[in-house]
Amino acid sequence: MQKVIILTGPSGVGKNTLGDFLLEQFPQLSYSVSATNRPIRKGEEDGRDYHFMNREAFEEKIRTDELLEWQEVYDGTYYGTLKSELERINQLNKFPLLVVDVFGALNVMKNLKFKPLSLFILPKDLEVLRQRLENRGTDTPETIQKRLGKAEIEMQEYRQFDFAIVNDDLSKAKSQVASIVDDFLKSTH
Ligand code: ADP
Ligand code: 5GP
């Protein structure tokens, strides 16, 4: 049976933190490695965190229809889900976990031939998001401002997802997502 889990929400809300937790808890899940043309950050690894490529290579993947969805998430910066990742994970007899931006998630839901499980992670408020992005230390003040502007627009979409979880107390959010994913993986339809 094909099952896909989508984790989405604004940048800095804790998607990757909760995604890493789910991957530890559920060995039947495998992380879908997205493609992007953004520069690689310290500590990241090509092929593990993203398939890093230049803009021309990304645009070629769009032209050749190799992406299930893609978004220009920030000006000039593309992110997309490779169809080949879902096939690779299927071959492993595992289920893909997609950690993608909100509009990418909506497109995955539209483009898949079956219904995935979709989780929207919400912050307590926008101020908390700002603090998390600042503490993470991976973005310039200008980028943080852009990400916060986008967060307001993205948060209006949360009702379109199966579950909305507030990531305030991390251990509480972890147990909520784990319980939802557990039910989904056990379900037979
Ligand atoms: P995203 O993947 O949504 O951009 P991250 O998982 O990278 O977000 O989280 C952003 C920052 O917030 C990270 O430094 C992470 O450790 C921290 N963080 C995540 N969840 C919480 C939480 N519930 N309380 C405090 N800090 C958190
Ligand atoms: P970052 O640059 O912080 O790694 O990610 C920036 C944003 O791009 C995040 O909101 C992240 O979820 C989103 N993103 C990562 N991979 C994909 C993808 O494959 N498709 C889409 N649409 N967004 C993605």
Mutate to test the pocket of ligand 2, among 8, 13, 33, 34 (most ligand atoms within 8 A of CB): 34
| CATH fold label, 5-186 | Rossmann fold (3.40.50)
Predicted local distance difference test score (pLDDT) of residue 171: 98
Ligand 1 lined by 12 (C-beta under 6 Å): yes
Is residue 169's pLDDT more than 90?
A: yes
Domain ranges of the chain: 5-186
Dump the DSSP string for 15-36.
Answer: HHHHHHHHHHH-TTEEE---EE
Q: How far does the centroid of ligand 1 lie from the alpha carbon of residue 134, in Å?
A: 11
Distance of CA 171 to the CA centre of its chain: 20
Predicted local distance difference test score (pLDDT) of residue 188: 83
Q: How far does the centroid of ligand 1 lie from the alpha carbon of residue 103, in Å?
A: 20
User: What average pLDDT does range 2-20 have in this prediction?
Assistant: 95
- Three-state secondary structure string covering 111-176: HCCCCCEEEEEECCCHHHHHHHHHHHCCCCHHHHHHHHHHHHHHHCCHHHCCEEEECCCHHHHHHH
Predicted local distance difference test score (pLDDT) of residue 28: 96
Q: How far does the centroid of ligand 2 lie from the alpha carbon of residue 72, in Å?
A: 9
Predicted local distance difference test score (pLDDT) of residue 152: 93
Is residue 74's pLDDT more than 80?
A: no
Ligand 2 lined by 11 (C-beta under 6 Å): yes
pLDDT tens for 114-151 read: 999 999 999 999 999 999 999 988 889 998 998 899 99
Mean pLDDT for the chain overall: 95
Longest Cα–Cα distance of the chain, Å, equals: 46
Q: How far does the centroid of ligand 1 lie from the alpha carbon of residue 17, in Å?
A: 6
Question: Residues 139, 26: contact at Cβ < 8 Å?
Answer: no
Mutate to test the pocket of ligand 1, among 8, 119, 132, 171 (most ligand atoms within 8 A of CB): 132
| pTM for this predicted structure | 0.94
Predicted local distance difference test score (pLDDT) of residue 87: 96
Is residue 163's pLDDT more than 80?
A: yes
C-alpha–C-alpha distance, residues 183 and 78, integer Å = 33
Predicted local distance difference test score (pLDDT) of residue 60: 98
pLDDT tens for 12-54 read: 899 999 999 999 999 999 999 999 999 998 899 999 999 999 9
Is residue 189's pLDDT more than 70?
A: no
Ligand lying nearest the CA atom of residue 129: 1
Q: How far does the centroid of ligand 1 lie from the alpha carbon of residue 86, in Å?
A: 26
